[in-house]
Copies of this chain bind each other. A is one copy, B any other.
Amino acid sequence: MRLNDLDERIVHALAEDARRSYADIGAIVGLSAPAVKRRVDRLRAEGAITGFTVRVDPAALGWETEGFIEIYCSRNTSPDAIKQGLARYPEIASASTVTGDADAVVQVFAADMRHFEQVLERIAGEPYVERTKSVLVLSPLLRRYSAEAPPA
């Protein structure tokens, strides 16, 4: 599935403000409101757009501490084994296997530093994890798209 330039500009306008009216978006991309709606409907039907969500200040929800944990696994650990192991942690927002020194990078939201440390220790204690290296987020600068898991 390929999206054209118009579709991408519509998605970009929605990424900035998902509650913008179709007329507003149309003014930005140069289409009428119904034309924009038709395209958005099509993008949803095709699965390119999977939904609309609210951006929240994590602190307001009590999740003050964000960080990335790099995971170094023991040999012969399959990506699926990592996935199964990490799926149990509600604090994990995203996880990916990566190139470079580490095997996987995990994004974690915790209530506070103590909570973050607990999560870190539990992950470090997983049987397939050899060691970890963590990086704390100081301040979030941009938080634009909300990517969803691809169909498994």
A binding-site residues for B, Cβ under 8 Å: 1-3, 8, 11-12, 14-19, 46-63, 66-68, 79, 82-83, 86-87, 90-100, 102, 104-105, 107, 109, 135-152
Task: Determine chain A's interface SS by DSSP, over half rule.
Answer: mixed
Q: How many copies does the complex hold?
A: 2
Select from chain B the residue with minimum beta-carbon distance to A66: B96
**Measured between alpha carbons, how far is A151 from B92 in the docked complex, in Å?**
9
Cβ–Cβ < 8 Å partners of A136 in chain B: 98-100
A39 to chain B, nearest CB (A): 13
Q: Closest B-chain residue to A111, C-beta based? A: B150
- For A137, the chain B residues whose CB sits under 8 A away are 96-98, 105
